Structure 1
Amino acid sequence: MNKYLAFDIGGTFLKYGVISEEMGVLETNKVKTPDSLEGLLTAMKEISHLYKDAKGVAVSSPGAVSEDGFIKGSCALRYLHGPNIKQLMEEQLNVPIFMENDAHCAGYAEFWKGNAKGKKDVLVMVLGTGIGGAVFKNGVLHKGANLHGGEFGYMLLNTAVQNSNDVWSRRASTKALVKEVARQKNIDMASLSGEQVFSMAEAGDKVCLEALDRFYHILAVGIYNLQYIYDPEIILIGGGISAREDLIDNINEKLDGIMEAVDLAKIKPTIASCHFRQDANLLGAVYGWLKERDGCIRRINTKLNN
């Protein structure tokens, strides 16, 4: 049974896991994300030494990941921008590496054996500190001319203010929800979590209930727009919040209200939670490696022979 080492580079943690070719999660762990590129490469090298039997290394990364290994766009880890990250990783680890955007990896996992399997036109959106996503046309990932296909969080929905910087990520991410509740309660945002906001709402906290009502509405507005821009078969929602059993019902309730208000709209978006949650990025990265196996191996062999 072939095994692969997968890394998921996050702003807070560097997750890693051993994944089988049959999509079995054999082992997972995490360490605090290093605060420098040198530290990241060293940590990955030390971890890879523990799994020398891995056939390859797959990496889920923030930012707009180019095929040649540069990370463009923007992300929380500024040190990833500039150098050829994939090349540096392959030089450090001396193994074939596949690297892709984290939301794209989550989408790959859904197409492998998740809720997008067997479908063709699918959008995947991942809610967290921002809103990322992936666009699939005829089952193929669409990255766009500038590698920003699926960056739904950049959408502007606020038409009341000209030249607003109030993008969708800053209005409908879980971070935005926490920030809004902390502002209204006049408390430090660092002392509050998304889980606490939901718990307080369930206990009847008025501020949290009202913030969640707005949160679901703004999510629904963006999803409605995406439906009529692309007309996918389904829109899958990932991220930690997707584990909530009431998420889809609450968004659907807001979508029903929008559909009633917009007399031209006849197609209600079909939404569902992603099947894979905490391991989605690791699994999807390995799926990408398998899809591009020959190219990964050929590239590393060329380097070794030069």
Structure 2
Amino acid sequence: MKEYTAFDIGGSYIKYGMVTEQGELREQDKMKTPDSLDVLMQHITDIVHRHPDSAGIAVSAPGAVADEGVIYGISALSYLHGPNIKHRLEEKTGLPVFMENDGNCAGAAELWKGTAKGKQDVLTVVIGTGIGGSVIKEGQTHKGASLHGGEFGFMLLGNPDTGRLESWSQLAATRALTRYAEAEKEIEPDTLTGEQVFEWADEGDPACVKALDRFYRFLALGLYNLQYIYDPELILLGGGVSARKELVQRINKKLDELMREAPVGTIRPTLDVCHFRQHANLLGAVYRFMQQTEAANR
């Protein structure tokens, strides 16, 4: 059975593991995201060399990932944009490399063996350092004219505190959550992690409880808008926060509040979490790799 070395490049962590052609994830781990492309390339190369039987490298990455291996657009990792990363990895490892946008990878995993299997119109929303996602239209990934299909994090919302427009990523990604908690606790920026905020909120810390309440409200606002833009059968939530058992319940509670405040819409989003949760991007990258290989061999 073939195995692939899969990487999920995020703004805070790089997740990696071995994925079989049957969708089994083995030896998964993560590391801090490095500060430069050269260090990232070396980390990936070192991991690949520890698995000499790998059939190829599947990479989930932020941004508008083109087939030739260049990542357009913007993301939390500016050094990813410009170089042909696919070609550089192939030269360093001697293995075939496939790259896809992280949100599209999450959607592909769910179409393959997850919660979206058998469905036609689904949105996946991946919540991490930023917010990405994918649009599944008639059972296929819809990338869009500029490869920006599913870049939900660029949606603009009003920030009632500042009176300014801010992107959904600025208001509802995990970095926003830590920023809210740091402001409430009056501590220096970049002091907390998302995991700490969740943990302290579970213990009753009032500042973290308040920060989470704000975080869930902005998530609900964006999801409400997406429902009326695309009207999907289902919206799936991915990323690290999808491992939180109360996530859907808390967002649904905020949706109830929003729909009472502004009773103009009667259709509420149907929410669920990605079946593969925080590992969806790894599996989806491999599935898309296999799809591409199969199509090329026809």
Question: Match of 2:186?
Answer: 186
Task: Give the Cα separation in 1 of the matches to 2:34 and 2:191.
Answer: 23
Amino acid at match of 1:215: F
Question: Match of 1:301?
Answer: none
Task: Give the Cα separation in 2 of the matches to 1:29 and 1:204.
Answer: 30
Alignment partner of 1:15: what SS?
Answer: strand
The superposition leaves residues 228-283 of structure 1 with CA deviations (integer Å, 9 ceiling, x where unpaired) of 00000100111111111111111111112223344331211100111112322111
Question: Match of 1:85?
Answer: 85
Alignment partner of 1:157: what SS?
Answer: strand
Question: Match of 2:100?
Answer: 100
Relative to structure 1, is the Cα distance of residues 232 and 93 closer, same or farther in structure 2, using a 3 angstrom cutoff?
A: same
Normalising by structure 2, report the TM-score: 0.91
Normalising by structure 1, report the TM-score: 0.89
Task: Give the Cα separation in 1 of the matches to 2:9 and 2:296.
Answer: 20
156-165 vs 48-57, greater mean Cα deviation: 156-165
Gaps of 5+ in 2: none
Confirm or deny: 8 A CA contact 1:220 1:255 kept in the other structure.
Answer: yes
Q: Does 1:238 align with 2:238?
A: yes
The superposition leaves residues 99-156 of structure 1 with CA deviations (integer Å, 9 ceiling, x where unpaired) of 0011211111111111111111111111121111111101111111111111111111
Relative to structure 1, is the Cα distance of residues 3 and 297 closer, same or farther in structure 2, using a 3 angstrom cutoff?
A: farther
Confirm or deny: 8 A CA contact 1:96 1:296 kept in the other structure.
Answer: no
Alignment partner of 1:226: what SS?
Answer: helix
Question: Match of 1:117?
Answer: 117
The superposition leaves residues 77-112 of structure 1 with CA deviations (integer Å, 9 ceiling, x where unpaired) of 222211221122222222222100112111111111
Give me the identity figure in percent.
54
Amino acid at match of 1:2: K
Larger radius of gyration: 1
155-164 vs 93-102, greater mean Cα deviation: 155-164
Question: Match of 2:14?
Answer: 14
Amino acid at match of 1:35: D
The superposition leaves residues 20-67 of structure 1 with CA deviations (integer Å, 9 ceiling, x where unpaired) of 111111322344444333333333333222222222221111221011
Residue 159 of structure 1 deviates from its aligned partner by: 7.3
Q: CA RMSD in A?
A: 2.3
Relative to structure 1, is the Cα distance of residues 32 and 245 closer, same or farther in structure 2, using a 3 angstrom cutoff?
A: closer
Residue-pair matches, total: 298
Relative to structure 1, is the Cα distance of residues 75 and 184 closer, same or farther in structure 2, using a 3 angstrom cutoff?
A: same
Amino acid at match of 1:85: I
Relative to structure 1, is the Cα distance of residues 37 and 160 closer, same or farther in structure 2, using a 3 angstrom cutoff?
A: closer
Relative to structure 1, is the Cα distance of residues 85 and 255 closer, same or farther in structure 2, using a 3 angstrom cutoff?
A: same
Amino acid at match of 1:158: G
Gaps of 5+ in 1: 299-306
Alignment partner of 2:281: what SS?
Answer: helix
Task: Give the Cα separation in 2 of the matches to 1:47 and 1:206.
Answer: 42
Question: Match of 2:131?
Answer: 131
Question: Match of 2:201?
Answer: 201
Task: Give the Cα separation in 2 of the matches to 1:15 and 1:194.
Answer: 17
Question: Match of 1:275?
Answer: 275
